[in-house]
Structure 1
Amino acid sequence: MISSLFSRPTTLPAADEALPGRAAPMEVAAAHFVSGHPLKGPYPEGAEIIYFGLGCFWGAERLFWTLPGVYVTAAGYQGGATPNPDYDEVCTGRTGHAETVMVVYEPDKISLDTLLKTFWEEHDPTQGMRQGNDVGTQYRSAIYTTTEAQFETVQASRERFDRQLKAAGKGPTTTEIAPAGPFYFAETYHQQYLAKNPNGYCGLKGTGVSCPLPA
């Protein structure tokens, strides 16, 4: 990812310091490049949505669209103050957004705990405002939930993983966990990027520590 070559701000801007953004939402392809499912719905009855930030969203999105029970994924920006930001604005660090992946999943086909196991194990959530060589607030580890039940499941999963990290001699997670605010779709060229560019950049690297599923 081009932005990974440079250090970005590692502190979030105050809301009144954020870039102004724009009223119009980003135009984005209607369908998922891999599955053909609609990015913006309608989604199957009973489907739930959760949002994950694991650093660069190119590799992060691929992790989830490959899982059975995940209906559709999309790359976007979340957790900041600027409405409808574009990629260049997010890269300045002045929007406050993290690069995130929207995951629409069917709970009767895949559990949230299984999704969380993938989340915890496939990146390093102990690094604060970075992910490997990708430095800046946009690369922070984050989970944004859409129901109270999700929030409770995420917190319990985090506690299990933190115990495993401690046993392995590693530091605790720095993952931001919060109810989801607005999700802004990223530009179409970011959507399912590694399906379109199989040799494209992916900086994901886990800690080598496993996250146990609940007993």
Structure 2
Amino acid sequence: MFPKPSLTLTAEQALIGRDSTMPINNKHYVNNHPIQAPWPENIDTLIVGMGCFWGAEKCYWLLEGVYSTAVGYSAGFTPNPTYQEVCSGQTGHNEVVLIAYDPQVISFQTLLKNFWEGHNPTQGMRQGNDKGTQYRSGIYCSNEEQYQQAHASKEQFQTLLNQAGHDEITTEILMAEPFYYAEEFHQQYLAKNPAGYCGLGGISGVTL
């Protein structure tokens, strides 16, 4: 069983951050769509944390109905953090993926299935060999309907994990907080660097 430390950093203890936003190229490396709002009218958004955001982003940009993806930082305190600051554990942020999707083409339930099966949501503040609060499992919802569906799917997946003898889910499910774009280097990293490493994987034999 993996240790499951909690996030104990407070806003007062967090790094101060900055007012300036991260400069990025507003074009997805894979599909050429913009990676920043404004989105087309039919597009909804979801933010997820699944460990290393390089692999998590790739899990979503391949899906039909996903309009765009971007990696960044969220669910913490420090405004406009850098990668180094997030890795220090002193921002409270998680490494996350912003998913812009067309709900008429791909359902929210399909995005959740991809989430639960794409990583191990029972490992607390780690994912595989990657350890730290920035690697925690999280779902950050843009509306109440997403929030309720995410909790229901968590219960459903936990039942399957229990039947297979696995640990309790540690995923945090929250309403989305500000999303800060990661450095351009990290955007669609595994498309730019196909041989890049990201230790992301689901729980064998458990599917939703």
TM-score normalized with structure 2 length: 0.95
Partner of 1:81: 77
8 Å CA contact retained: 1:121, 1:209: no
Within-5 A mapping of 1:86-97: 86-97=82-93
Partner of 2:46: 50
Task: Give CA deviations for 1:5-32 in whole Å, capped at 9, x if unaligned.
Answer: xxxx964411100000000111111111
Q: Which runs of 5+ in 1 are unaligned?
A: 1-8
Within-5 A mapping of 1:106-185: 106-185=102-181
8 Å CA contact retained: 1:29, 1:188: yes
8 Å CA contact retained: 2:164, 2:206: no
Partner of 1:72: 68
8 Å CA contact retained: 2:76, 2:93: yes
Q: 1:14 aligns with which of 10, 13, 20?
A: 10
Q: 1:10 to 1:163 in 2, by over 3 A?
A: closer
Give me the whole-angstrom Cα distance separating, in 2, the residues matched to 1:209 and 1:93: 33
Moved more, 76-85 or 42-51: 42-51
Q: 1:209 to 1:113 in 2, by over 3 A?
A: farther
Cα shift at 1:201 = 1.1
Partner of 1:99: 95
Q: In the comparison of the two structures, how many residue pairs are matched?
A: 204
Cα shift at 1:68 = 0.1
Give me the whole-angstrom Cα distance separating, in 1, the residues matched to 2:105 and 2:35: 19
Letter in 1 for 2:59: L
Aligned-pair identity in percent equals: 54
Cα shift at 1:122 = 1.1
Cα shift at 1:209 = 4.2
Task: Give CA deviations for 1:82-102 in whole Å, capped at 9, x if unaligned.
Answer: 000000100100000000000
Matched position secondary structure for 2:49: strand
Give me the whole-angstrom Cα distance separating, in 1, the residues matched to 2:12 and 2:75: 15
8 Å CA contact retained: 1:12, 1:93: no
Letter in 1 for 2:56: A
TM-score normalized with structure 1 length: 0.92
Matched position secondary structure for 2:91: coil
Cα shift at 1:172 = 1.5
Partner of 1:41: 37
Give me the whole-angstrom Cα distance separating, in 2, the residues matched to 1:82 and 1:53: 17
Q: CA RMSD in A?
A: 1.2
8 Å CA contact retained: 1:39, 1:72: yes
8 Å CA contact retained: 1:12, 1:94: no
Give me the whole-angstrom Cα distance separating, in 1, the residues matched to 2:8 and 2:202: 25
